[in-house]
């Protein structure tokens, strides 16, 4: 079924039958196909560059602490502030994608990212570097929802899996190889080169996109509810910040972690109530009617659990490899690189399989592999061979690759076209929350167990190994919920007459 037969979603005002500039190409015309491919390709490349920076700072923090003469608590803000900004901006993108056209949104996102990269590269000290990271994150937060919404609008239902497989590369590989790239740069160059090397790529993507990306949607006048924006900032910002402090050592004068968590929870309840009221008149900042689809809801739950596992592993494995097994940062990054490459290679393959067989055939084995690897990681000790860790990480990457593409495609495909921008914003927000929850959970469990083991007289290395073991046990138990949920994700079917989305049986 060709998606071009669908009525125009309210937020676009067009079925993209005509190209904005020529007004002549039909949906199946070669000109429109090339235009759509060009737009999506440019968005994919740009999204990869901006998402890469979310995890590129982790390995660099020790060097930054030395060069900038700052404590660990300050250095951590270079990653925490990035996540906070993402969490605050992403929920607003649902509104932005309705109100503004494709090209200006892209230009704004890449301009912010390029400006933030330049500020970071020129930063004389910690404060300016922090500002640069915040500006970077503002652009990053806009890019992924823009990419998702554009794909859902342009790509026919029958071939979305292949395109979503390419998006899976961006959403999973970019964060995974960030530490590897930063480790390699830091082994030979100053930390500022992490930004100088990215800057020309970002500016090139900005210039090329500004010249070649065409407007593929027509914006509508959508009112912005200021109270929703404020509640969203306190809700998602409070939760992300509170979770980022879990397991961190207490410092004098610092705000207790439960305060932002409580503020975030209360604000979240108020935000949800506010959206439920506003969506009756199509004025919600983040329309929650996306959750009326059982497939979207189950996909979001599975996505949350999977992202928890991914980000938890990304924080635990470097600690384990460097502190317990004694590897250097560069060796740690290189050991984790094959898994990221495997995920990237499998993305398009899994996408094509999804188009043929649907989500369940991929999700069930994928979730079982992820859970099996998580349980195998509970066996790792201070004497575990490097090869075991390498194989486990590659196997985990295979399992996650089998899961991400079907989840993105089936989840967003089950949403009415009018709600694509809101569904994309929810997916991005869930990623940030899942990353914060996964990191906080794994670190908190590891830290608590380490303290207990040190009190029992174990060495620092043995205590760390024991703490990481407990974190993996916790993650392995949680992974079982993803296995159970994988049986309930169905392939959506679109009714072109009534613009309804139903689940295939």
In tens digits, the chain (505 residues) has pLDDT values of 333 333 334 444 444 444 444 444 444 567 777 777 888 888 888 888 887 777 777 667 777 888 888 876 677 778 778 878 887 888 888 778 878 888 899 999 999 999 999 999 999 989 999 999 999 999 988 888 888 888 887 887 777 777 877 777 777 677 767 777 777 788 788 889 989 988 998 999 899 888 888 776 667 776 788 898 899 889 888 888 887 776 555 555 566 778 888 998 999 999 999 999 988 888 888 888 989 888 899 999 888 888 887 778 777 887 888 888 888 767 877 787 888 788 878 888 898 898 888 899 999 999 999 999 999 999 998 889 989 999 999 999 899 889 888 888 888 888 888 888 888 888 888 887 887 788 778 888 888 888 888 888 888 888 888 999 999 998 899 889 989 999 988 887 754 444 455 555 4
- The separation between the first and the last C-alpha atoms of the chain, rounded to the nearest angstrom, is 17
Rounded to two decimals, what is the model's pTM? 0.76
Rounded Cα distance between 72 and 258, Å, is 21
Distances (CA, A) of 363 to 31, 344, 479, 489: 35, 17, 13, 8
d(CA 151, CA 153): 5
* pLDDT tens, residue by residue, 165-206: 777 777 767 776 777 777 778 878 888 998 998 899 899 989
Domain coverage including residue 433 = 3-503
Domain of residue 459, CATH code: 1.20.1250.20
CB 96 within 8 A of CB 428: no
Burial class (CB in 10 A: 0-12, 13-18, 19+), 44: middle
Residue 80: how many other CB atoms lie within 10 Å: 20
**Contact predicate 366/449, CB 8 Å:** no
DSSP assignments along 345-409, one per residue: HHHHHHHHHHHHH-SHHHHHHHHHHHHHHHHHHTT--TT--HHHHHHHHHHHHHHHHHHHHHHHH
Are 490 and 410 in contact by the 8 Å Cβ rule? The answer is yes
| Beta carbons of 20 and 214 less than 8 angstroms apart | yes
What three-state secondary structure class fits 501? strand
Handedness of CA 320, 321, 322, 324 (dihedral sign): positive
How far lies 428's CA from each of 92, 182, 448, 454, in Å? 11, 24, 30, 39
d(CA 486, CA 302): 7
Give residues with Cβ within 8 angstroms of 454, minimum separation 6.
Answer: 460, 463
Domain count for the chain, please give it.
1
Question: What's the residue count for the chain?
Answer: 505
In sequence order, the 6+-apart residues with CB closer than 8 A to the CB of 350 are 161, 165, 168, 362, 401, 402, 405, 406
Report the candidate in 349, 396, 402 with the shortest Cα–Cα distance to residue 373: 396
d(CA 82, CA 135): 9
Count the helices and strands in the chain (H runs, E runs): 18, 2
Q: Which residues contact 193 (CB under 8 A, 6 or more apart)?
A: 185
CA 352 – CA 337 distance, rounded (Å): 24
Show Cβ contacts of residue 310 under 8 Å, excluding neighbours closer than 6 positions: 172, 175, 176, 400, 435, 438
Rg, Å, the chain Cα set: 22
Tokens in use for 91? 């929920």
Contact 449, 470 (CB under 8 A): yes
């Amino acid at each position: 079924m060709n998606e071009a037969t669908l009525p125009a979603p309210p937020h676009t005002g067009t079925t993209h039958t005509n190209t904005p500039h020529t007004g002549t190409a039909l949906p199946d015309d070669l000109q429109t196909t090339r235009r759509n491919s060009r737009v999506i390709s440019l968005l994919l490349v740009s999204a990869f560059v901006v998402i890469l920076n979310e995890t590129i700072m982790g390995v660099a923090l020790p060097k930054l602490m030395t060069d900038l003469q700052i404590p660990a608590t300050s250095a951590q803000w270079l990653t925490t502030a990035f996540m906070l900004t993402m969490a605050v901006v992403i929920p607003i993108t649902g509104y932005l994608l309705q109100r503004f056209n494709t090209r200006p949104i892209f230009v704004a996102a890449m301009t912010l990212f390029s400006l933030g990269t330049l500020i970071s590269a020129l930063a004389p000290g910690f404060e300016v570097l922090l500002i640069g990271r915040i500006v970077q994150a503002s652009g990053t937060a806009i890019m992924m929802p823009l990419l998702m919404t554009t794909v859902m609008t342009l790509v026919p239902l029958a071939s979305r899996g292949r395109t979503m497989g390419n998006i899976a590369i961006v959403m999973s590989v970019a964060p995974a190889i960030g530490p590897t790239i930063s480790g390699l740069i830091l082994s030979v160059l100053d930390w500022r080169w992490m930004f100088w090397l990215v800057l020309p790529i970002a500016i090139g993507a900005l210039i090329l996109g500004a010249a070649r990306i065409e407007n593929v949607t027509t914006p509508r006048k959508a009112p912005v509810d200021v109270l929703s924006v404020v509640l969203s900032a306190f809700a998602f910002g409070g939760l992300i910040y509170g979770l980022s402090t879990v397991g961190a050592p207490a410092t004098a004068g610092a705000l207790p972690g439960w305060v932002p968590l409580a503020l975030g929870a209360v604000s979240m309840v108020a935000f949800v109530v506010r959206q439920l009221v506003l969506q009756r008149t199509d004025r919600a900042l983040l329309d929650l009617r996306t959750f009326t689809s059982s497939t979207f809801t189950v996909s979001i739950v599975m996505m949350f659990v999977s992202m928890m596992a991914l980000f938890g592993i990304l924080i635990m494995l470097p600690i384990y490899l460097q502190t317990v097994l004694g590897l250097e940062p560069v060796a740690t990054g290189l050991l984790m690189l094959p898994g990221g490459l495997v995920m990237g290679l499998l993305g398009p393959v899994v996408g094509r399989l999804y188009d043929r067989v649907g989500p369940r055939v991929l999700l069930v084995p994928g979730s079982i592999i992820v859970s099996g690897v998580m349980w195998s990681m509970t066996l790792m000790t201070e004497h575990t061979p490097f090869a075991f860790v390498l194989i486990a990480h590659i196997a985990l990457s295979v399992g996650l690759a089998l899961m991400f593409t079907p989840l993105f495609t089936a989840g967003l495909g089950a949403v009415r076209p009018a709600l694509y921008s809101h569904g994309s914003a929810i997916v991005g927000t869930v990623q940030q929350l899942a990353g914060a929850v996964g990191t906080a959970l794994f670190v908190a469990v590891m830290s608590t167990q380490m303290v207990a083991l040190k009190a029992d007289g174990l060495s620092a290395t043995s205590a760390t190994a024991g703490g990481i073991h407990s974190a993996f046990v916790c993650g392995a138990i949680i992974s079982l919920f993803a296995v159970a949920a994988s049986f309930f994700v169905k392939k959506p079917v679109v009714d072109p007459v009534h613009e309804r989305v139903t689940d295939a049986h």
